[in-house]
Structure 1
Amino acid sequence: MSQIKLLHVLLTAIRSALQDTDILRQLAKLGYDAKTLREGEKLGNAFDELIQKQEEAQRGAKTATRNLQIARQGLQQTYMKHVSQARIIFQGQPEYLDELKLNGMRKKALDKWLKQCKDFYYHAPSHLEILGKYNISESEITEAQTLLAEIINLYTLQKQAQGRAQMLTQQKQEMTVLVERWYRKFIKVARIALEDQPQQLEMLGVVVKA
């Protein structure tokens, strides 16, 4: 049973019982009086709220990831252009190739790619004079640094959003167990209390075999 369906059948059963004095009277004989049912309804409402929060957090995480991907794509073309040009400029100068992290392939993993970008744009301003001779202007470097800072911020926001989504998902899973346990016990008691009243059982959403 899905969590949404579980929530629906739980609240339907409880509210139907609370609205029918005869059903409520029969349930109360087995310990499910109005107060107990209200506690179950409170549990269901809390479950509903948690489901909404978790879904909102999931949407937030997806949005954060999408924004990060867009920003990364925006810097990637400029960065690769600068890397290609700098490799030519500093060819045969291993100390500069190492300083600017120009050796090897560009990393695909975001955290490692960010490290390469940060190393390059941190040291690039020290070589503006020679870079400028090859059409890499100071304004280009500054613009790239600004976008890089934005990406780093978006990366932090993404991690925070993903962490919140994971936390709420865990909480929802744990609460699902509690809600399902409460519902199954309630229905078991209702079947006993209303054994001779199949129509009242059906009002609680219980399928009664003919």
Structure 2
Amino acid sequence: MKQSESKFLERTRTALTNAQTHPQIKAALAEYGIDESKFSEGWNLYDIAKGTWEFHKKEESETRVASNIYSKAYSKLEMTFKRHRDLSLILCKKDPDTLIQLGVKGRFPIKYNEFFDKLKLFYTSINTNQSVQEKLALIKLTPELATECLAELDTLLTHRSEFDKEMGESQATTVSKNADLHALSEWMDDFDTLAKIALYDTPQQLEVLGILVKS
């Protein structure tokens, strides 16, 4: 489909409306099989395509909102974790065992699943390991703070699940929308072909249907 989906749907609505309300055009089209039954078929395909297109737009909007909520929460917790991780690396540079227990050896996690795992290990270690707690007390990384960060992680995971759900629903509606638009497009191709034949001698009437004729 070369033109935008929105423009195609509006062109279809205009073509069908004008074809039915313009007596001469309607009569000419009827001679080539575009009668009331055919119009009903076209309107039905239009209504289905328009409905799934609008529903897909709604799902897209919900996905963007879910993505924004998740991204903001992720960025906030990422900044917190990076700061705490960096301070721990500085403080414990001569204490490799503590760094191993905190899970901070190696690069900062980039993939979101690795980020979740590393963050949980880090704050759980602070929460449950007394020697780690004593070591990190100097930089004020307390069990209470670790509990708050773990709660933020739980919230972030909820946002991620919601985002994944919305993304899946949006992808499913994309398939339906494309199929329904394709069915309508095929019907309109046939409609345009018959209209060009029926109205060959009156090109200005073709333009009423949104069919541009080369001069």
Relative to the length of structure 1, the TM-score reads 0.87
1:201 maps onto 2:203 in alignment: no
Instruction: Report the Cα distance in structure 2 between the residues aligned to 1:125 and 1:159, rounded to whole angstroms.
Output: 30
Query: Shift of residue 55 of structure 1?
Result: 2.2
In the other structure, the counterpart of 2:153 is 148
| Equivalent AA in structure 1 for residue 80 of structure 2 | T
In the other structure, the counterpart of 2:167 is 162
Conservation of the 8 A alpha-carbon contact between 1:86 and 1:131: no
- The number of equivalent residue pairs is 209
Query: Shift of residue 123 of structure 1?
Result: 3.1
Conservation of the 8 A alpha-carbon contact between 1:132 and 1:138: no
Conservation of the 8 A alpha-carbon contact between 2:124 and 2:146: no
Deviations 1:51-105 (A, max 9, x none): 22222222222222222221122212322233234443585353x5334312111
| Equivalent AA in structure 2 for residue 176 of structure 1 | L
Query: Shift of residue 153 of structure 1?
Result: 0.9
Instruction: Report the Cα distance in structure 1 between the residues aligned to 2:58 and 2:11, rounded to whole angstroms.
Output: 23
In the other structure, the counterpart of 1:172 is 177
Instruction: Report the Cα distance in structure 1 between the residues aligned to 2:135 and 2:100, rounded to whole angstroms.
Output: 16
CA RMSD of the aligned region, Å? 2.3
Conservation of the 8 A alpha-carbon contact between 1:131 and 1:137: no
Matches within 5 A, 1:55-204: 55-87=57-89, 88-89=91-92, 91-94=94-97, 96-127=98-129, 129-130=133-134, 133-134=137-138, 135-204=140-209
Instruction: Report the Cα distance in structure 2 between the residues aligned to 1:102 and 1:203, rounded to whole angstroms.
Output: 69
Instruction: Report the Cα distance in structure 1 between the residues aligned to 2:75 and 2:27, rounded to whole angstroms.
Output: 65
Instruction: Report the Cα distance in structure 1 between the residues aligned to 2:94 and 2:148, rounded to whole angstroms.
Output: 25
Instruction: Report the Cα distance in structure 2 between the residues aligned to 1:131 and 1:45, rounded to whole angstroms.
Output: 67
Conservation of the 8 A alpha-carbon contact between 2:56 and 2:173: yes
In the other structure, the counterpart of 1:12 is 14
Overall identity of the aligned pairs, in %? 23
Q: Secondary structure of the equivalent of 1:69?
A: helix
Return closer, same or farther for 1:131/1:174 CA change in 2, 3 Å cut-off: farther
Ranges in structure 2 where 5+ consecutive residues have no aligned partner: none
